Copies of this chain bind each other. A is one copy, B any other.
């Protein structure tokens, strides 16, 4: 099976991992062997020692992109969920993936700052707006929206299952 990287980008709490997990479960039912590079996995296995400076964020995204592209080289389906705030890092991941003949699908989970702040499951937005988190993406740190992602998911007023369905429908056309 040819390699595929589905790269979910968006703000903290946008719903990236939730949607990616649902998409991955469906792709596994289709017989794909799926790797999940989400926040938990990355923090445990790839990013220990890195912080939130621009340089460290770039290193983190470069590292995830490199690992994803190498996995895709061997036919893996890789689901990345990472804020990945800078377009340059996402473009590099795409270039490395396509270099190996694998496909790269960028999914912008386009939940707005206001909606993320309303949900705020971890209370991080409240802290960021209070000035307690000086490098918080979307509030006190930049997020560069993708110009032309393969898929742009509006999550507001929709269930995660509906959002995952939209991604899968677009994939069916593109993969």
Q: Does A146 contact B (CB under 8 A)?
A: no
Q: Which A residues lie at the B interface, using CB under 8 A?
A: 33, 35, 45-46, 48-50, 56, 59, 62-63, 66-67, 70-71, 73-76
CA distance A18 to B98 in the complex (A): 29
- Copy count, this protein chain: 2
CB-CB nearest in chain B for A67: B67
Assembled-state Cα–Cα distance A62/B48 (Å): 11
A46–B71 alpha-carbon span in the complex (Å)? 14
User: What separation, in Å, do the CA atoms of A35 and B76 have in the docked complex?
Assistant: 14
Q: Which residues of B contact A49 (CB under 8 A)?
A: 49-50, 56, 59
Q: How far is the CB of A40 from chain B (nearest CB, A)?
A: 13
Cα-based distance from A95 to B46 in the complex (angstroms): 18
A58 to chain B, nearest CB (A): 10
- Which chain B positions have C-beta within 8 A of A73? 33, 35, 76
Query: Which of chain B's residues have a CB closer than 8 A to the CB of A70?
Result: 35, 67, 71
A-B contact pairs, 7 of them (CB 8 A): A33-B74, A35-B70, A35-B73, A35-B74, A45-B66, A49-B56, A74-B76
